[in-house]
Structure 1
Amino acid sequence: MNALNSLLINIVKWPFRPLIRTKVIPAKLSELLSVDNDRSIFYVLKEQSLSDLLALQRVCKKQNLPDPFSPVNLEGKEYTRYICLDKLPSSLHLKRSPTDAEPQVHQLLTQHKENQSLDAQLIPVFSTWGRYPGKTKSEADLVFNDQKKPNALKKFFIVLFSGRHNLIQFSQPLSLREIADDHGTDHKIAHKLLRVARFHFQRQRLAIAGPKLWDRSLLINGLLASPALKKVIEDEAKTKNISTQEARELAKGYLNEMAADYRESVVRVGDKLLTWIWNKLYHGIHIKNVENVRKLAHEGHEIVYVPCHRSHMDYLLLTYVIYHEGLVPPHIAAGINLNFWPMGPIFRKGGAFFMRRSFRGNKLYSAAFREYLVQLMSRGYAVKYYPESGRSRTGRLLKPKTGMLAMTVQSALRGLDRPISLVPVYIGYEHVMEVSTYMKELRGEAKEKESVWQVLGILKKLRHFGQGYVNFGEPINLNKALTAANPTWRDNIHPTTMQKPTWFPSFVNEMSQQVMSHINQAAALNGVNLTALSLLAAPKHSLFRDDLETQLKLCIALVEKDAPFPQLTLPPDTHQKVLLDHAIGMEKYKVEKGKTDIISLSDDEAILQTYYRNNILHVYLLPSLAAACLISHNECTRDMILAQWKIILGVMAGEYFLRFSDDELRLHLEHIITTLLNHKLLTQEGDKLTAIKHTEAKYQQLHLLSVYAQETLQRYAIVIAAFEGKKAITRIDLERSALDHAKQLARLHDIKGPEFVDKSILSQFVLKLRELDYLESNDEGLLLSTAHLDALQDIVYALIEGDVLNTIRHP
């Protein structure tokens, strides 16, 4: 760079400095990008723009990367460090001259061919000012949209208006050595390389800002004109004996009720507000595995987010995280109950589209909603919906509702030209603001209707909420899943008619189970849920501090590796003292000072803490069952534990959405045994494993671990015990008897978990027993036990503590 250019840059950058505020994607460059600072680095940019380069210069300084204005010297030849694909058009609309990108890349490749020791890196750097996607027939594009190769004057105004919303995204470096060795060094390779870079930048722009937004009225009119919806409108007119125009107006009313009105400006304002709120409420938001989602978006996948639902905060938190990770905010399926003033219009402009709780009996509404969803996906808008439909009141995942997922699969059967990827998301909190309300509802109080007064009431309660967790689970490629399940599925594609082939219901059910399983696999451990897990297992929900710390250490060790939860997130600091100090700081536990502090839960708080325990209970079911097996038998073998696991998992898997291969189970069991041996909680002699004696001090640890699964086993035992002394029973009588017995057991043995007396969970277990042939129906429709139930009974009874088992079997 000559002295004149250097002087010009230094003069210009100072007035630009206060105008520019940049967000870098990914935030942790050194962790996620394999950049080698010992090798020469070149930056590849979309446009030769001084404002882009000045923003990049500031970012590189903070990230300890080379200054883009500093030259690169290779074997005595000097190059500019930045390679720009295009020049900005002149303000006078003169023909643009090409950049020297292609000649420079060709020269670099040639040097690599001549000198085998060279290995420079090309780092694609995408820069955008604002996230405005553009809108059909909109004058706003003139100022806010930098997608249309603006001239220098327009670029100045873009920076002036959107400079505080600059986003720079770095991609993985490309090795020129590898390119030269694998593909050659001629002009065609250089040209192809830059063409691929242009396509890469287009994909990044689409992933960040999304496709152009349609005018809402034009979108609705387009939906009304679609062949699929027109046919249903005609059928509605005939069925209800009204005119086609009246049926059309009815459909139009439905579409106006549901359709989003996404505004990037509202999202931008919401981003500032939510940043302030999160800083007030949370110590940190921990995000994991978002790189997988970004990769799918850059590859052109239709992204469908399917998160669990814990709190009303979910709507805001997940969208906020997606936006901050450089991805376009999704259109969100929200219940019609949230369409209240003033939040409804705000949510709608933030991308929410509203749906009624039930479509049953209203074919026109169902068709309008389905057509709207298809149009969102076909036009490339990311979508988010909650497979559980409602918020979990117990902290466990709910049985999924398959309606939205079925419509997603049907969208694929309409011939969507891009692959669809379902992205499961685990959302967790150290404090859920509605948890006390949930407990009231579980006790039978009516659900409070959403309103502006409820929002104001919530705002009054805002306080320190600890930490939040957003973990993106393993994505599910819907197209590949369809091919694996039915290789001829594309034969059912029809561009206008919704298809529902014979294999469709079972496939949708299988996908829903996979989604929930992947959510659970991405669970997040933290000080609060681990402390709740241990204290709720302890007598009177109290432990000495040192015993509690020891138990937390064991819990972390059991899942630090070889756990069959590949996306599991451990706490930021796994030291047991730090975990407990943080949990105590959340003001949920009583601390009784003494020679050794006692940590305990009040009766009321114990009920609330079951919610946080249930967030992670599924993670510790296998270790708990192994501990229970070791305690209940004098001697155990690995094969014995595995055999019990497989039988119990058969009935437990549906309730807790657990899916493990035999290899995963064996690997996890080996890790559990090794951990227990390291903590001196069992001994091994040959193949035989023996738990330490109950008289030893460390026995408490093993016993607490075995208690984690006790409530689940006790619920199973209650249903099984209902068949003792009975030949046959109706399903209604079975469920009523089991529920009454569960309530008695909860009172006698101080069981706090509201889900223990949840009728729906007991009903699901009965259905699972029938599905697995533990129960069968006679000609009169009565339920009878089979020989299989006797085998399950022997295992479950053996794992339950004696005094509780006696209560369960009391006639």
Structure 2
Amino acid sequence: MLGIDRPLLHAARKLLYLWVRTHVLPQEPASLELDPDKPVVYVLQRRFLSNLLVLSRETDAGGLPAALKPLAARRVRDSRSFFFLSRPRPWLFARGAPAYSSLMRRLVAAAHSDPTFDVQIVPVSILWGRAPDKEHSIWKLIFAESWGRQRAFRRLFTVLLHGRNTLVRFSAPLSLRAIADEDRDREVTLRKLARVLRAHFRHQREIAIGPDLSHRRTQLGGLLEAPRVRAAIDALAQDQGGGPAVLRRAQAQARSYAWEIASDYSYPVILIFRRFLTWLWTRLYDGVEVSNFDTVTSAAVDHEIIYVPCHRSHIDYLLLSYVVFNHGLMVPHIAAGVNLNLPLLGGFLRRGGAFFLRRSFKGNKLYAAVLNEYLHMMIAKGYPIEYFVEGGRSRTGRLLPPMGGMLSMTVQSFLRDSSRPIAFLPVYIGYEKLFEGRTYVGELMGRPKKKESLFDLLSSLRELKHNFGKVHVNFGEPIRLADVLAAQHADWRAEEVAEDARPAWLAAGIDELKARIANGINAAAVVDPVNLVSLVLLAAPRHALDAQQLARQLDACRRLAQAAPYAGRVQVTALPGTDIIAYCEKLKLLQRQTHALGDVLYFTPDDAVLTTYMRNNILHLYALPALIASLLTQNRTLNHKHLLRLAHAVYPFLRAELRLRWSDDEIDAAIGVCLHALSDMGWLVRSERDDVYAAPDILSDEYAQLALLGQALRPTLIRYFITLATLHQKGSGVITPAELEALCHLQAQRLSLLREFNAPEFFDKAIFRIFIDTLTQNGRAELREDGKIHFGEALQKASGEARFVLPIDVRQAILHMARADTDTGAPDDDARREAA
């Protein structure tokens, strides 16, 4: 035990912990699933007194078997229950067999002597500060955890400088019996156990501080020598006339692209960011709630992680890195738009792991080659990566259709070298109040998107005086790339794919990957107090409800999310309705009007517009129940077969707009779960004899609650009818998709003015575009060579079935507008100008 008596060790431990502060993973020791009937032996990688003292303290504090207690296994007795994997050799330059711990040797010998003997070997990683091995000379970086060897003098400074940022990770136990049974030779088992432990510690260090990095200039130099980049350089030089001078210019251009793109990860900057962000979150938010991070930890053991979060705010970049770093893993390298490469800020972001790429580089083959090779280099070296598959920030709160660019580059890199498995981690990020909310509203109203500038960034600091509630970060189910590819092409591993080749099955594989990522993000949504109040109150007339009615509806919607769960990863607030109301009043989102007959709670017009964003974060969770509610309140009774037929008619459009998770084969079962949940809540009445569902009595509280749920989906259904009615009035083969999109945008805008659908997202062009695309994809309409939309009876029938979904006054208002536009022709001109 390093030659020190146990009382002295305890005294040294108390002295050390006057300074040292640790972050221990896992936070719940029970998750290690230790067998109480088998002895536990801990193993530390590096032989330092500081490591032993930390191990001793954390096993005692965490309720684990004590590391300093004597080991009392059947065939092995020892004064302690730990050993060090690495031991110093007897001479400075000695060579020969590795020096194994005597306890490790005796344990292996006992396992070979007694086939029933077993112990649980628990590797414990202790990292004092975390930094990649890079070209900085900053004092703290010199003594941070790295891939280099440490001596006792260096370790002393490491503890002094980084003792307050110490990560302790207990890993799942290894069975000595399982390893010994693999081979009869004792020395072979000893070497195998040491090799397994070395690989484990190396991987734990890699996921915490990143792979062993070389000098940045060396990395980029190797990138420019890659065959793909060399070929692009030569091709550009040839296109420009050839010759040594032209070749040098092409090489310089490639080098410029590489430096424009590449990150410059810096641990000191990461520490600055961490301190700054801790302060920022405290000023802006009431906390950052993280769920299911154990998913990341488990996946990182044997996969390279690609984080694919939804994109709601510029804060997303910083938030996810902050969460990952605080949970003991390496900050990912983040794909950021070159618009964020601002003076000063761009340098900080680059050193925080950001690499910058242009929004569009179509036709620039050299830039594409450099970017592809840079991404491949990072993937091959095992760097965790983060990018936003939506391509840009959502302005409405809905998940945008995933883009395939970065996904395609990632998949093609994996096809080149699949030795390191890749797992995509969908991440839901939800804000209770959005930093950019008013900017998004302005853009939806038609204001041009403003270019980012340092001045705007500094101006936004004024928002620090406001309270933005909590932020919720929930990690979805990992998506293993190998599984996705195998589902599309079982023999993909055996097939050699050239660097620039795109196999015929690849496009379908990327489409499947996009769908799984979108489903994974939506399946990790968080129902928080703000988005739940937004869902309910925006469905009410004038965005106002009696306080008691609002509390009851909030409680009912919480129960519905649990009774008809969208997915197992969805998190639902535990606050009851009255507490949710109090919480939103504290955030100054809800206004209260006192009244003798009962207080009324409402949104101001401005807050009603802003909270549509929050409602849309979770609208997909309630889409099916709300559709059923809308059908039953409109028709009062429907038999099961008719209800399913109407739901099937609407579902493809809901699925495309809200990225719903169920396939056509799964939707009937999902509707069945919703019907059962609504029936149990008393919101539906089912007649078993004739299989008919009916709404409750129209004067009952249950009917009012069902109607309010149905109203949540009403703006969506109205948009669909606007499109169908407009297309039907124009006629087949008359209008292009762009013209129809622009005309529907204008009509929805006008309807919102006339009927108080108070939200610019109601007439968002992108949503109409999705609906029009879905019409052609599911065969309701056809886009022919003339560029016009052609349709037949199927579309006319769909338009006619709106009577089962929407009230007659709404249908009449829309049809009146559609006929008026056809008669006057003036809006057509506006639509053509917008389409152009």
Per-residue deviation, residues 644-680 of structure 1 (Å, max 9, x unmatched): 3333222221221112146754554344333323332
Aligned to 2:481: 478
Q: Secondary structure at the match of 2:84?
A: strand
Match of 1:226 in 2: 226
Secondary structure of residue in 1 paired with 2:122: strand
Correspondence 1:326 to 2:331: no
Contact kept? 1:136, 1:213, Cα under 8 Å: no
Q: Which residue of the other structure, out of 801, 808, 822, is the alignment partner of 1:802?
A: 808
1:196 CA displacement: 2.1
What is the CA distance between 1:613 and its match in structure 2? 0.5
2:738 corresponds to 1:757? no
Q: Give me the whole-angstrom Cα distance separating, in 1, the residues matched to 2:114 and 2:710.
A: 62
Q: Deviations over 1:301-357 (max 9, x none)?
A: 222111111111101000111112222111111111111121111001111111111
Contact 1:302 1:419 in 2 (8 A): yes
Q: Residues 558 and 232 of structure 1: is their aligned pair in 2 closer, same or farther, counting only changes over 3 Å?
A: same
Which of 758, 775, 796 is equivalent to 2:781?
Answer: 775
Cα 1:469/1:706, change in 2 over 3 Å? same
Query: What's the secondary structure of 1:128's corresponding residue?
Result: strand
2:530 to 528, 533, 536: 528
Counterpart residue type for residue 198 of structure 2: R
Q: Report the equivalent of 1:730.
A: 735
Structure-2 separation of matches of 1:626 and 1:535: 19
How far residue 688 of structure 1 moved from its aligned partner, in angstroms, is 2.2
Question: How far has the Cα of 1:640 moved from its partner?
Answer: 3.7
Per-residue CA deviations over 1:453-472 (Å, capped at 9, x if unaligned) read 22222222113221111112
User: What is the CA distance between 1:181 and its match in structure 2?
Assistant: 9.0
Does structure 1 retain, via aligned residues, the 8 Å contact 2:630–2:711? Answer: yes
Give how far 1:400 is off.
2.5
CA contact (8 A) 2:684 2:696 kept: yes
Cα pair 2:722 2:747 within 8 Å, conserved: yes
User: What is the CA-CA distance between 1:607 and the residue it aligns to?
Assistant: 0.5
Paired with 2:598 and 2:56, the residues of 1 have a C-alpha distance of 56
Distance 1:501 1:478 in 2: 16
The aligned counterpart of 1:785 is 791
Cα deviation 1:134-156 (Å, max 9, x = unaligned): 24899999743454453333332
**Secondary structure of the corresponding residue to residue 428 of structure 2:** strand
Q: Is the 8 A contact 1:424 1:472 kept in 2?
A: yes
1:63 is matched with 62
Query: Which stretch of the first structure deviates more once superposed, 10-19 or 467-476?
Result: 10-19
CA contact (8 A) 1:402 1:508 kept: yes
Deviates more, 1:188-197 or 1:395-404: 188-197
1:184 Cα deviation from its structure 2 partner: 9.2
CA distance in 2, matches of 1:3, 1:264: 36
User: Structure 1 length normalisation: TM-score?
Assistant: 0.92
- Tell me by how many angstroms 1:563 deviates: 2.1
Q: Which residue is 1:715 aligned to?
A: 719
Offset of residue 2 of structure 1: 12
Q: Compared with structure 1, are the counterparts of its residues 198 and 748 closer, same or farther at alpha carbon in structure 2 (3 Å cutoff)?
A: same
In structure 2, runs of 5+ residues without a counterpart are 820-836
- State the one-letter code of the partner of 1:703: A
- Structure 2 counterpart of 1:689, one-letter code: Y
2: CA distance, partners of 1:791 / 1:89: 84
CA shift in 2, pair 1:179/1:506, >3 Å: closer
Distance 1:526 1:36, change over 3 A: farther
Matches within 5 A, 1:579-590: 579-590=580-591
Q: Structure 1 unaligned runs (5+)?
A: none
Of residues 262, 270, 275, the one that matches 1:272 is: 275
User: Which of 648, 663, 666 is residue 646 of structure 1 equivalent to?
Assistant: 648
Following superposition, the deviation at residue 197 of structure 1 comes to 2.6
Query: Residue 262 of structure 1 is aligned with which of 262, 265, 276?
Result: 265
Residues 504-519 of structure 1: matches in 2 within 5 Å?
Answer: 504-519=506-521
For the aligned residue pairs, the C-alpha RMSD in angstroms reads: 2.9
Structure 1 residues 40-67: Cα deviation after superposition (integer angstroms, max 9, x where no partner): 4432322333211211233234323233
Distance 1:280 1:137, change over 3 A: closer
Equivalent residues, number: 804
CA contact (8 A) 1:112 1:177 kept: no
- Once the two structures are superposed, residues 117-172 of structure 1 have per-residue CA deviations (whole angstroms, 9 ceiling, x without a partner) of xx864332211222122248999997434544533333323323332222111222
What is the aligned partner in structure 2 of residue 10 from structure 1? 10
Q: Distance in 2 between matches of 1:383 and 1:469?
A: 21
> 1:297 & 1:522 partners in 2: Cα distance?
19
Deviation at 1:104, TM superposition (A): 4.2
Q: Which stretch of structure 1 is more off in the superposition, 230-239 or 192-201?
A: 192-201
Alignment of structure 1 residues 395-544 onto 2, 5 Å? 395-462=397-464, 463-490=466-493, 493-494=496-497, 497-544=499-546
Cα 1:588–1:486 change in 2 (3 A) is same
**Mapping 1:44-123, distance limit 5 Å:** 44-74=43-73, 78-79=77-78, 80-88=80-88, 97-106=99-108, 109=111, 113=115, 121-123=120-122
Query: Aligned pair in 2 of structure 1 residues 123, 98: CA closer, same or farther (>3 Å)?
Result: closer
2:208 corresponds in structure 1 to 208
- 2:292 equivalent to 1:289: yes
Distance in 2 of aligned mates of 1:76 and 1:409: 52
**Offset of residue 474 of structure 1:** 2.0
Within the candidate set 761, 766, 772, 1:766 is matched to 772
| Counterpart-to-counterpart distance in 2, 1:459 and 1:554 | 39
Q: Tell me by how many angstroms 1:376 deviates.
A: 1.2
C-alpha distance in structure 2 between counterparts of 1:457 and 1:54, whole Å: 49
What percent identity do the matched residue pairs reach? 35
Cα distance change on mapping 1:545 and 1:42 into 2, 3 Å = farther
3-state DSSP of counterpart to 1:86: coil
1:376 counterpart letter in structure 2: M
Q: Report SS of the residue matched to 2:356.
A: strand
Q: Is the 8 A contact 1:85 1:101 kept in 2?
A: no
- Where 2:394 maps in the other structure, the secondary structure is coil
Aligned to 2:825: none
